[in-house]
């Protein structure tokens, strides 16, 4: 299985767990049987990434990421700007696009060590997200006449992605469906058919409540999927920071196993979303992400 990464994933001048974790993860994966760590440039050209970025994101915003001006727009993700900001932002979308291309080419499963960046708006960044890789990957698959289901199981809602889906789907019956389960109301949005949005309060027995909602979400996804539907799984590990699970590692592992079992032989990719050290060490966050990857490899 191909997993995409290059050093531009960590090129952000802003020091933060989510801007540095991918390099640590790829170190742990070196020599792992069953996978190849591949530079996205070997799967999809940079020009194709930039074409889709220009299609979905406002030109003024993309230029701000390149130049740093205007400053409020260049830093609208909340990350401080620097000369390498644009390179970092493009790299994360490049990884998603490369993984989608690999999955569609017959490889069936692929992944990227980049984040999905689901809060990024068409005209600005938001919530630690610069360019919306989930939307870009979905647009690429849709342009190849594929149906797409985005499974967004990050702790937060993917309101940025929903803003992009209006443009991707246009006035046609939606070809891209978002299935969104959140334990936080950050970046919430109004649910519209056929998309699926659920907030899980995770009060009593949080682990069981959460997994029940994941099962329901996968049931909804099944109604809009066939064997050739492209699945984009935004595998956020940050529910552990918000839901106060009794068994955070076991619950995340069970969730990822449920997703992998449901995906079966559909063309599918994962992105590694979230990853905050609130209440957890960086080593524990890496452990959570590695469990997602191992589950994905085992399901091949």
Reported as a single tens digit per residue, the pLDDT across 203-250 is 888 999 999 999 999 999 999 999 999 999 999 999 999 998 999 999
Please tell me the distance from the alpha carbon of residue 7 to that of residue 10, in angstroms, as a whole number: 6
Max distance between CA atoms of the chain, in angstroms, equals 49
The single-letter DSSP state of residue 129 is B
Domain 2-298, CATH: 3.40.800.20
Q: Which residues contact 171 (CB under 8 A, 6 or more apart)?
A: none
Please tell me the distance from the alpha carbon of residue 54 to that of residue 75, in angstroms, as a whole number: 19
Please tell me the distance from the alpha carbon of residue 134 to that of residue 164, in angstroms, as a whole number: 10
pTM value is: 0.97
Residue pLDDT, tens place only, 81-99: 999 999 999 999 999 999 9
| Per-domain boundaries in the chain | 2-298
Residue pLDDT, tens place only, 128-176: 999 999 999 999 999 999 999 999 999 999 999 999 998 999 877 689 9
């Amino acid at each position: 299985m191909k997993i995409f990464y290059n050093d531009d994933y960590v090129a952000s001048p802003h020091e933060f767990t989510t801007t540095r974790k991918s390099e640590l993860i790829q170190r742990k994966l070196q020599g792992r049987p069953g996978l190849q760590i591949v530079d996205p440039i070997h799967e999809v050209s940079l020009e194709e990434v930039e074409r889709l970025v220009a299609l979905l994101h406002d030109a003024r915003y993309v230029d701000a990421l390149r130049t740093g001006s205007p400053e409020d727009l260049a830093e609208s993700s909340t990350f401080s700007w620097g000369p390498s900001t644009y390179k970092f932002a493009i790299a994360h979308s490049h990884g998603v696009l490369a993984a989608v291309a690999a999955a569609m080419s017959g490889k069936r499963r692929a992944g990227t060590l980049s984040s999905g960046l689901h809060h990024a708006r068409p005209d600005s960044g938001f919530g630690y997200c610069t360019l919306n890789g989930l939307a870009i990957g979905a647009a690429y698959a849709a342009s190849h006449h594929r149906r797409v289901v985005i499974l967004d199981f990050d702790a937060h809602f993917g309101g940025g992605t929903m803003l992009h889906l209006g443009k991707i789907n246009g006035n046609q019956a939606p070809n891209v469906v978002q299935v969104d389960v959140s334990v936080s109301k950050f970046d919430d949005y109004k649910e519209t058919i056929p998309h699926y949005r659920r907030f899980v309060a995770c009060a009593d027995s949080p682990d069981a409540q959460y997994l029940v909602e994941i099962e329901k979400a996968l049931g909804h996804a099944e109604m809009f999927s066939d064997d050739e539907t492209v699945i984009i799984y935004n595998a956020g590990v940050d529910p552990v920071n918000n839901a106060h699970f009794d068994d955070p590692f076991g619950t995340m592992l069970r969730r990822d196993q449920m997703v992998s079992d449901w995906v079966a032989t559909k063309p599918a990719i994962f992105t590694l979303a979230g990853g905050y050290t609130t209440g957890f060490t960086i080593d524990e966050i890496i452990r959570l992400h590695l469990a997602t990857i191992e589950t994905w490899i085992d399901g091949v």
